[in-house]
Chain A
Amino acid sequence: MDTFSISRVNNNEYSILYLNGFLDAHTAPELENEIEKLIQEGRFKIVVNFNDLNYISSAGLGVFMGFIEDIRKNGGDIKMCSMSPKIFRVFDLLGFPTLYDIVEEENKAIELFKN
């Protein structure tokens, strides 16, 4: 079975989620729980780092869609960074770049929040 793990780093008002492994229909609930926790804590400025993610399925993409409205309503956002070309391709096919800021580096994502 392919594994998936998340680690979170809080950087001032920003929270960075590091995704690792395989994000599919089976592992998506873990990401869901994590983001739900952030929302409960009132941390709406979220950066998701995809550097160590090997695979993402449509269910994985769905997780972001499930929360984005709520997060943006609260003045926050989900910004994505460090995607491998393969992962980016999945996002790109669905047109996610028109919905989310997807940047190359974590720093840039945080800078985007500041602007």
Chain B
Amino acid sequence: MKYLSQLSLLLPLAFFVGASIQYLGVSPGDDSLVSLYIRDGFLIIALILSLPLIYKQKWASDRNVLRGLRHLFFLVLITSSILFLSGDRLESLQSQFFDQAFFRANLSDHIFVISWAFFALVFMLIALGTLRNLIYIKRKKSTAAIFTLFMVFLLFYSLISLPQSNYYRDSILHDFALYRYFTYAVLFVLINLATLNSFRVGWINYLNKKQKLGCFWGGLILLPIQVLFVINFRKITPMESFSPLLEQFIEMGMLFLTLYLGFSFLALLAHLPTAQLYDRKMQQIQSLHDLSRSLSSEFDWTKLVRTIVKLASEVTGAEYAWLELYGAGNGSLSLISSKHLMEFERKGWSATTAERLIDWLKRTKETMICNQVNKNDLVKDIQTWKKDIGSLIAVPMIASDRLLGFLYVGKRYEFGFEQDDAEMLRAFSDQATIAVENARLVEESIVKERLEQELKIAHEAQMKLLPKQMPKLAGFELEAVCVTANEVGGDYYDFFELGHNKLGIVIGDVSGKGPSAAFYTAEVKGIMEALAKEALSPQEMLVATNEILYRNFDRKTFISLIYGIIDAESKLFAFCRAGHCPILYVRETRVECERLEPKGLGIGLDAGPLFQKSLQPQSIQLSSGDTLLLYTDGLTEARNINGEEFGENRLAATLLAVKNKASIDMKKHIVHSVYTFFDGQNAYDDLTFIIVKAV
């Protein structure tokens, strides 16, 4: 296919060859109008056929500015050199053809003329293709229409101007004045169209400063050559003798080329002074683009802040740049990242003087641009810790009304910044603010997720610490409940089968919440389990536990415990309380609820002696139908929507109301009462209790 399109160029070539053969067949002086018509007819067909083929060529459709310009440069250079080199022979032929109407040239002269015509035609076609390529850059709706119209008029004018030629002097239109005016009118339109097309020099915008300078020098060389070329072309080429049409076409095309090059050169001149500015603008836009691209994908905090500072200095061409952000937690401002600025230098900025600038930025939410740092009261203190900052821009970074921090850039020299820099930095900082906010949100959500995961694990661990099944004890009913709300608490209960129909019961509450409370609970369980095997009394048990835990706990952690032993045979309940909530005791024979609250310090509060002294062992002789309720403060401190606590009294009343029921019904009743009281509110603590009922 590719070669086919190349081959199709053979068709217009064939018409050209046809015209050439016809030219050689009749010597110039003998030209009749008919033979001229045939030749020019052939050639216009060749032109019309070749143009679309030229347009399809890669070099005429790739919109590559620099290559297009290089093409034109060498094209003009080579063609004009050839014109100059073969100028003598061309000129002599031209004058002979022109002066002597019946000059009989020999064959080699004719072939020379044809070759020159062919060469000039190829040059023109390539030049037009290249120009079209340039014109179509940044094309608008009308671009193609105007260019095509120009080409149509170019062909049309070449055609209708033929009778003006000396060779068509036999034509009736040759001396027809009105027709001449008509050709002038068409010429006028053609030149206008050429001018209109010459305005299409938008490609200049794509050149950077260096390229613009290159084009300037190139143009300086090219333009005079081109002008000379155009002037000489008509004078010295004998092309008219081959085809007046081709001559007109090439001449007009050449005019257009000169016009276009001239306009381009002027536009280039106009662009040169601002070239640097333009380049910088382009670089800034590029930086902004880079930023949004790298920022949208960058959640690595360190990389992100480094990128922000680097690009901020690039955007403004500043030597110094630094980023200060408010911490997410305590809200103090700190240097996050910097370029050519050390942290200890920044620390030299006393809080009180820094505060003045920060206050100003906070209040106005404006960008601060200062071109003489030492003359501005707000910022002159900067020179006390960074001597060589001459000009400065500071931008507050505000994300949806929240101030995240400030972005600074500085230059060594005074008057280093323009208003434009401040605006650019502002635009840049807006992007950076979003990125910082995003990165923080992502980090927060990761932290939150991890915390939730940890809590879940801790919660599971805590649940595993509780006995899997209730022990059996002859003559007693035992029930236990442990519900944890949203959080992991430190509630704990356990049973130890001590043999001889004795059962150890422990209930406790580790201070604090969360994973650490769960770990301490595990520690307590391990110690209690080990100690329970030693058949100690409740007091000995707690003293031993305290001794070990006091060593292992950190000072602010403690645990409240009750340890008791039920003897199933004697129905004696012996226990000690170490800082824990009292035991509620309901006798079958009485209608009140007793609080069993012997003295006792919490475990982990004292190293030993004081603790041991504080404990008051107590024993209760239980009878059939008596109930003990051991609980943690989660049960009494549970608050309803009005902030009212469930409280000991309400708990006692609840227990009394069901004192004659089986322990399992008591459990259900208490749980039901507490949840009714909550009325949908979550408990603030764990809900843990044990019911011991003698039957």
B614 at the interface (CB under 8 A from A): yes
A112 at the interface (CB under 8 A from B): no
B581 at the interface (CB under 8 A from A): yes
A95 and B579: CB pair below 8 A? yes
Specify which of A25, A63, A96 lies most central, judged by the most chain B CB atoms within 10 Å of its CB.
A25
Select which of A24, A59, A67, A99 is within 8 A of B605 by beta carbon.
A99
CB within 8 Å for A61 and B601 given contacts A66-B556, A95-B614: no
- Minimum CB–CB distance for B328 against chain A, Å: 16
A66 and B560: CB pair below 8 A? no
B262 at the interface (CB under 8 A from A): no
> Which residues of A are found within 8 Å of B253, using beta-carbon distances?
none
Q: Can you pick out 23 interface pairs between chain A and chain B where the beta carbons lie within 8 Å of each other?
A: A25-B512, A25-B514, A57-B685, A58-B509, A58-B512, A58-B633, A59-B513, A62-B511, A62-B512, A65-B605, A66-B554, A66-B555, A66-B556, A67-B555, A68-B555, A69-B555, A90-B633, A93-B579, A94-B579, A94-B605, A95-B601, A95-B602, A98-B610
- Minimum CB–CB distance for B637 against chain A, Å: 8
- Minimum CB–CB distance for A6 against chain B, Å: 16
> Which residues of A are found within 8 Å of B610, using beta-carbon distances?
98-99
By beta carbon, the residue of chain A nearest B579 is A94
Known: A61-B511, A61-B558. 6 other contacts (CB 8 A): A25-B513, A58-B560, A59-B512, A62-B511, A65-B605, A93-B581
In chain A between 63 and 115, which residues have their CB closer than 8 angstroms to a CB of chain B? 63, 65-69, 90, 93-96, 98-99
Q: Is chain A's binding surface mostly helix, strand, loop or mixed?
A: helix
CB within 8 Å for A98 and B579 given contacts A25-B512, A61-B511, A65-B556: no
B601 and A62: CB pair below 8 A? no
In chain A between 41 and 66, which residues have their CB closer than 8 angstroms to a CB of chain B? 55, 57-59, 61-63, 65-66
- Minimum CB–CB distance for A89 against chain B, Å: 9
> Which residues of B are found within 8 Å of A93, using beta-carbon distances?
560, 579-582, 597
Among all A-B residue pairs, the 5 with the closest Cβ atoms: A66-B556, A58-B511, A95-B601, A62-B556, A94-B579
A63 and B514: CB pair below 8 A? no
A99 and B606: CB pair below 8 A? yes
B595-613 to A contact mask, C-beta < 8 Å, 1/0: 0010111101110001000
- The complex places the Cα of A62 from the Cα of B513 at a distance, in Å, of 12
B557 at the interface (CB under 8 A from A): yes
> Which residues of A are found within 8 Å of B633, using beta-carbon distances?
58, 90
B537-558 to A contact mask, C-beta < 8 Å, 1/0: 0000000000000000011111
> Which residues of B are found within 8 Å of A59, using beta-carbon distances?
511-513
Specify which of B513, B580, B614 lies most central, judged by the most chain A CB atoms within 10 Å of its CB.
B513
- Minimum CB–CB distance for B273 against chain A, Å: 62
CB within 8 Å for A99 and B556 given contacts A25-B513, A58-B511, A58-B512: no
Specify which of A61, A68, A90 lies most central, judged by the most chain B CB atoms within 10 Å of its CB.
A61
> Which residues of A are found within 8 Å of B684, using beta-carbon distances?
24
- The complex places the Cα of A90 from the Cα of B581 at a distance, in Å, of 9
- The complex places the Cα of A93 from the Cα of B514 at a distance, in Å, of 23
Specify which of B514, B556, B580, B614 lies most central, judged by the most chain A CB atoms within 10 Å of its CB.
B556
> Which residues of B are found within 8 Å of A24, using beta-carbon distances?
684
CB within 8 Å for A98 and B614 given contacts A65-B605, A93-B580: yes
A65 and B601: CB pair below 8 A? no
In chain B between 434 and 486, which residues have their CB closer than 8 angstroms to a CB of chain A? none
By beta carbon, the residue of chain A nearest B580 is A93
> Which residues of B are found within 8 Å of A25, using beta-carbon distances?
512-514
> Which residues of A are found within 8 Å of B579, using beta-carbon distances?
93-95
B554 and A95: CB pair below 8 A? no
> Which residues of A are found within 8 Å of B554, using beta-carbon distances?
66
> Which residues of A are found within 8 Å of B614, using beta-carbon distances?
95, 98
In chain B between 579 and 638, which residues have their CB closer than 8 angstroms to a CB of chain A? 579-582, 597, 599-602, 604-606, 610, 614, 633, 637
By beta carbon, the residue of chain B nearest A68 is B555
> Which residues of A are found within 8 Å of B685, using beta-carbon distances?
57
By beta carbon, the residue of chain B nearest A66 is B556
- Minimum CB–CB distance for B108 against chain A, Å: 106
- The complex places the Cα of A56 from the Cα of B614 at a distance, in Å, of 23
- Minimum CB–CB distance for B684 against chain A, Å: 8
By beta carbon, the residue of chain B nearest A61 is B511
> Which residues of B are found within 8 Å of A55, using beta-carbon distances?
637
- The complex places the Cα of A81 from the Cα of B490 at a distance, in Å, of 28
- The complex places the Cα of A66 from the Cα of B490 at a distance, in Å, of 18
> Which residues of A are found within 8 Å of B513, using beta-carbon distances?
25, 59
A95 and B509: CB pair below 8 A? no
By beta carbon, the residue of chain B nearest A24 is B684
CB within 8 Å for A58 and B601 given contacts A93-B580, A98-B610: no
By beta carbon, the residue of chain B nearest A2 is B643
- Minimum CB–CB distance for A72 against chain B, Å: 12
> Which residues of A are found within 8 Å of B604, using beta-carbon distances?
65
